[in-house]
């Protein structure tokens, strides 16, 4: 981590720098822990769906409060770190990035919980397993994207973040064709309607998880490059954090 001029043009003392590094490492560790919980929650809810195991679905739902609590802890830790250490621009980006990623992970957790809630009604309804296959495949694809983007954050892999960012269309087109398939099935026989609606909501939840993987990829890019992924501006920190440092100097 950097340790350059901070507040009022005075350099951060070694003491402050080290303390900041410790805070930042702890924040990164918390994000990684949150990421692991969310990955498990997605995997559990998808497995529960595939095996019509409503108990496993309940376990996925039960993970949600821990994930929400971690988000609040990360938020408090981030804010306290800023207040105590007054980091400079690049380090502020690290902290804002942590806040954004925690926020996206919390939303992904909510979506996984929503899938967990549909396992019970789906498991009571006996329908051909092949319809579920499309949802499962979509789920695996998105879980893979979540894993990749968390890897890109933990190990600062810009290329991997870009790959995730560029790969969202596959999920969206998978979702569209799945919806079409489910719709046909509903038209054929009214007894399929309830079942297919549940699957549609599951597919929509998975599609949105994919959107959050894209958001996280954008945040990793922002942390590493100091600008939005969509901008074609020349390199350099163009956020107002840079302005703050300039002002302070």
- Tell me the angle at which helices 89-123 and 14-50 cross, rounded to the nearest 10 degrees: 20
Site for its own copies in 89-108 (CB under 8 A): 92, 95-96, 99-100, 103, 107
Query: Of 157 and 201, which CB lies nearer to its own copies in the complex structure?
Result: 201
Question: Contact between 193 and its own copies (CB under 8 A)?
Answer: yes
Count the site residues for its own copies by CB under 8 A: 30
Question: Contact between 127 and its own copies (CB under 8 A)?
Answer: no
Query: Of 158 and 244, which CB lies nearer to its own copies in the complex structure?
Result: 244
Of 86, 136, 157, 170, the one binding its own copies (CB under 8 A) is 86
Task: Give the C-alpha separation, 70 to 109, whole Å.
Answer: 11
Question: Contact between 190 and its own copies (CB under 8 A)?
Answer: yes
State the DSSP code for 12: P
Give the rounded distance of the alpha carbon of 152 from its chain centre.
12
Task: Give the C-alpha separation, 32 to 30, whole Å.
Answer: 5
Distances, alpha carbon 178 to alpha carbons 26, 110, 133, 145, 209, in Å = 41, 22, 10, 19, 16
Q: What is the full DSSP assignment across 54-97? A: HHHHHHHHHTHHHHHHHHHHHHHHHHHHHHHH---HHHHHHHHH
Q: Which stretch binds its own copies (CB under 8 A): 29-37, 87-95, 119-127, 149-157?
A: 87-95
Contact 175, 201 (CB under 8 A): no
Question: Contact between 3 and its own copies (CB under 8 A)?
Answer: no
Query: Of 120 and 201, which CB lies nearer to its own copies in the complex structure?
Result: 201
Report the interface residues with its own copies, using CB under 8 A: 75-76, 79-80, 82-84, 86-87, 92, 95-96, 99-100, 103, 107, 183, 186-187, 190, 193-194, 197, 200-201, 204, 239-241, 244
């Amino acid at each position: 981590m950097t340790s350059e001029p901070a507040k009022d043009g005075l350099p951060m003392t070694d003491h402050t720098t080290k303390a900041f590094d410790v805070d930042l490492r702890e924040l990164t560790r918390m994000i990684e822990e949150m990421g692991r919980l969310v990955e498990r929650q997605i995997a559990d809810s998808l497995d529960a769906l595939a095996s019509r195991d409503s108990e496993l679905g309940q376990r996925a739902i039960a993970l949600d409060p821990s994930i929400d609590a971690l988000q609040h802890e990360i938020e408090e830790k981030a804010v306290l770190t800023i207040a105590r250490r007054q980091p400079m621009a690049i380090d502020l980006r690290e902290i804002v990035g942590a806040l954004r990623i925690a926020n996206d992970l919390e939303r992904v957790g909510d979506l996984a919980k929503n899938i967990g809630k549909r396992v019970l009604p789906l498991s009571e309804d006996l329908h051909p397993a092949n319809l579920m296959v499309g949802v499962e495949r979509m789920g695996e694809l998105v879980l893979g994207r979540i894993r990749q983007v968390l890897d890109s954050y933990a190990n600062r892999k810009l290329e991997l973040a870009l790959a995730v960012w560029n790969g969202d269309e596959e999920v969206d087109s998978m979702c569209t064709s799945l919806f079409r398939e489910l719709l046909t099935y509903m038209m054929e026989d009214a007894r399929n309607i309830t079942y297919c609606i549940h699957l549609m909501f599951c597919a929509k939840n998975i599609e949105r998880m994919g959107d959050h993987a894209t958001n996280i990829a954008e945040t990793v890019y922002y942390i590493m490059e100091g600008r939005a992924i969509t901008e074609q501006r020349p390199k350099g920190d163009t956020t107002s954090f840079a302005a703050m440092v300039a002002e302070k100097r």
